[in-house]
Structure 1
Amino acid sequence: MLSHVMDKKRKNLRHMIARYLSTAIPDIQVEISFSGQKKIIKTDECGYFMNWFEVDHPLDHTGWQPVDFCIHDTSETKQCIKTGEVLIVDTDAPFGIISDIDDTVLVSHATQLLRKLRLILTKNAKTRLPFVGVKEFYQALTGNNSANPIFYVSSSEWNLYDFLVDFFATKHLPKGPFLLQEFKSGIKDLIRSGGGSHMHKTQKIHRLMKLYPSLSFVLIGDSGQRDPEIYADIAAQYPARVKAIYIRAVGKKKELDKKLVKQTAKEGVEMVLVHTTEEAYTHALKAGLIQSEVNE
């Protein structure tokens, strides 16, 4: 039994190291097909690609819809076809949700290096744990039928994308686009995973605000890193569009900066420190953001 457990840990270790030793492939042609339209673009120096589609006809429905990706080799022969999904947001939704992941949804110990590395290196999507009650809370916020879109803006790198997809599916958490840090390569980057200035989170939240100008948001994060400051800044710039801010107390930071709380209050936005998901649920219920109760 002990040998079986050690084999699993070694397998998890190999998979995680492989994620950070993988190599980006630049200048590859990718054909994107969506709703009857096709575009061919090239990957950048980090292996990323992105493009905008302007659909000139009504879509059958909002929500998740299929999009096809095809890689072309140097002879322009199609080598790989992959079907993915794109989220078409219903702009008439009551609100959207923007959530951090590490130590907000996923128990990560991001501020404790050794504990964080032990989790990253020895656990997988099935054995990592979400915080108690998160599934029920997020399902209630999204309206249980995902009428309210949810976006996961995290300081985790794109290297962890497949792990996060598996984790959220395994734990039955509401599906939403992942907006992560740029791809990194190397063991040092694995050790520093989730670190940095977190400025990319501010940039990505601004992008969501501009992309959906008629949509208000609930912001959810934790006290371990910079979420309170980032969310306070967002509330100051979009005061009429932030319905509430929930900050999970983690690590040594068990209190919020009173200046930040006062700052958001002046904008008519309440920043709430919670120690359990149940506390956040209770507040959201009273605020009219959700309709039913959950037992944690």
Structure 2
Amino acid sequence: MPHGSLPSADQLKRAAQIVEGRYESAKRNLKALVGFRRPLRIQTYRGFGSPNDLRVSGRVLEDKPIADPEEDHSWWQNMRSMYRHWQTDEVSGCRIACEFHGRRQTALTDEEGYFEFRYRFAEALPDGAFHTATLSLPPQAIRQAGPVQATSFNLVPSATAQFGVISDMDDTVIRSYASNFWKIARLTLLKNARTRLPFEGVSAFYNALAAGTHSDWAESPTSRDPDIDPVVPPNPIYYVSSSAWNLYELFRVFLRVNGLPDGPILLRDLGIDANQFIAGGHGHKLEKIERIFASTGDLPFVLIGDSGQDDPKLYRDAVARHPGRVKAIYIRDVRDRTRFDVRRIAREVTADGVPMKLVPDTVAAANHAAQLGLIDAAHLPAIREDRRGDRLDATGESAERQETV
């Protein structure tokens, strides 16, 4: 490099990869030297695919005990648990096996501990089901009580689905204040999956979308654990977020305790990779949408997001790339500064034949969805009631006021 010149982005990226790799290697060697090695665990992520092509994914980590979240946990307990979610000790180069429909594959985890298996079938899998895969690790030279196994649930939507739903999480389903660093940091660190609040009416609205015009489908009960007994709704729902995979457990429990429909949760890796200095970014959401579209034939979709980040632009790109695949777009209005630009994008997309609505709340989106025939109008009273009654305290103070920070 010439004297006085600045390093290029590629050089900085390579240097960061080297530093990260050496740090992780030194940490592993130190643990081996002092004999401090925790048992391993397999973190599975709910997969998805088509009857002929399906992927199973997850991560191998050192097992750190993390208490199940409770509503009465103190801020200190929440912060300690969240620290353990973020400060993961991933296991790279670990051989893992996957058994799926009588077929066995093996793979090595990557530098961040991630793995993915892809299965293709000449004879189609049954649709409208969560298919189970069994993952296992070979015996480890560590303190291990027994075999390491985990079960992965992988969605193949029903062939009779009327449409699918792709929804953002932060500031669309769960209150996050994602455009305000200090607010999202405080919520993430000091609250847990049981004390973070949904937007009013979201549970009833999403269950109405999942039902479509299948009026005989019941809402998802909050007492059921979807990682033991997931239920495929008539219309599949995919949750796509720019949050890190470290928050997977928070989102998983949040969906369950708030009675939202079961579905894959697709997040991003924040590590350093060969393509970007910090891997991920909002562009990953469009990549995930592309994968969902590719796995669902010609099934149309409803896209739901918020105005705080890049959802309107990403959804506009999805419409342009996949003509005829998007029935409607709902953008929750959460940021004054972006309102003008979002309205401009909404006019462009609507002029191309796909209604994009900037909505102040869930009820406004539900009213429009009922007009389009996406949901049964009979669900509207329940959505309005859910909006009024969601998480009111004994004095009638609104949840939004309680969680404003």
TM-score of the superposed pair, with normalisation by structure 2 = 0.66
Shift of 1:183: 4.9
Partner of 2:372: 287
Partner of 2:132: 66
Q: C-alpha offsets along residues 81-113 of structure 1, whole Å, 9 cap, x if unaligned?
A: 112211112243111000000000000011112
Partner of 1:224: 308
Structural mapping, 1:148-167, within 5 Å: 148-167=235-254
Pick aligned residue for 2:151 from 64, 78, 83: 83
1:64 and 1:196 map into 2 onto residues whose CA distance is 27
Determine if the alignment matches structure 1 residue 14 to structure 2 residue 80.
yes
Determine if the alignment matches structure 1 residue 271 to structure 2 residue 337.
no
Structural mapping, 1:244-259, within 5 Å: 244-252=328-336, 253-259=338-344
Identify unmatched segments of 5+ residues in structure 1: 186-192
> Does the aligned pair in 2 maintain the 1:20–1:184 contact within 8 Å?
no
Shift of 1:256: 4.7
1:170 and 1:92 map into 2 onto residues whose CA distance is 28
Shift of 1:132: 0.4
Partner of 2:117: 51
Shift of 1:38: 1.6
> Does the aligned pair in 2 maintain the 1:239–1:269 contact within 8 Å?
no
Residue identity opposite 1:277 in structure 2: T
> Does the aligned pair in 2 maintain the 1:106–1:131 contact within 8 Å?
yes
Partner of 1:200: 284
In structure 2, do the counterparts of structure 1 residues 264 and 270 end up closer, same or farther at CA, with 3 Å as the change threshold? same
Residue identity opposite 1:272 in structure 2: K
In structure 2, do the counterparts of structure 1 residues 259 and 251 end up closer, same or farther at CA, with 3 Å as the change threshold? closer
Q: C-alpha offsets along residues 261-294 of structure 1, whole Å, 9 cap, x if unaligned?
A: 2321232101101111000000000000001322
Pick aligned residue for 2:173 from 105, 109, 116: 105
Partner of 1:141: 209
Residue identity opposite 2:317 in structure 1: D
Question: What SS does structure 1 have at the residue aligned with 2:155?
Answer: strand
Pick aligned residue for 2:186 from 107, 110, 118: 118
Identical-residue share of aligned pairs (%): 37
> Does the aligned pair in 1 maintain the 2:268–2:280 contact within 8 Å?
no
> Does the aligned pair in 1 maintain the 2:342–2:358 contact within 8 Å?
no
Shift of 1:68: 1.0
1:163 and 1:259 map into 2 onto residues whose CA distance is 34
Partner of 2:319: 235
Question: What SS does structure 1 have at the residue aligned with 2:80?
Answer: helix
Identify unmatched segments of 5+ residues in structure 2: 1-70, 212-216, 219-232, 273-277, 388-405
Residue identity opposite 1:285 in structure 2: A
Determine if the alignment matches structure 1 residue 180 to structure 2 residue 246.
no
Residue identity opposite 1:107 in structure 2: R
2:341 and 2:210 map into 1 onto residues whose CA distance is 26
2:106 and 2:266 map into 1 onto residues whose CA distance is 23
Partner of 1:23: 89
Deviating more after overlay: 65-74 vs 138-147: 65-74
In structure 2, do the counterparts of structure 1 residues 93 and 272 end up closer, same or farther at CA, with 3 Å as the change threshold? same
Q: C-alpha offsets along residues 26-61 of structure 1, whole Å, 9 cap, x if unaligned?
A: 111111112222211111111111111123445455
In structure 2, do the counterparts of structure 1 residues 7 and 136 end up closer, same or farther at CA, with 3 Å as the change threshold? closer
2:127 and 2:343 map into 1 onto residues whose CA distance is 44
Deviating more after overlay: 250-259 vs 28-37: 250-259
Question: What SS does structure 1 have at the residue aligned with 2:118?
Answer: coil
Question: What SS does structure 2 have at the residue aligned with 1:114?
Answer: helix
Deviating more after overlay: 222-231 vs 258-267: 258-267
Rg larger for:
2
Residue identity opposite 2:312 in structure 1: P
In structure 2, do the counterparts of structure 1 residues 275 and 255 end up closer, same or farther at CA, with 3 Å as the change threshold? farther
Deviating more after overlay: 52-61 vs 225-234: 52-61
2:180 and 2:192 map into 1 onto residues whose CA distance is 19
1:28 and 1:86 map into 2 onto residues whose CA distance is 22
Shift of 1:120: 0.6
In structure 2, do the counterparts of structure 1 residues 243 and 26 end up closer, same or farther at CA, with 3 Å as the change threshold? same
Determine if the alignment matches structure 1 residue 95 to structure 2 residue 163.
yes
In structure 2, do the counterparts of structure 1 residues 111 and 44 end up closer, same or farther at CA, with 3 Å as the change threshold? same
Pick aligned residue for 2:255 from 162, 168, 180: 168
TM-score of the superposed pair, with normalisation by structure 1 = 0.89
Q: C-alpha offsets along residues 98-142 of structure 1, whole Å, 9 cap, x if unaligned?
A: 000000000001111211111111100110000000000000101
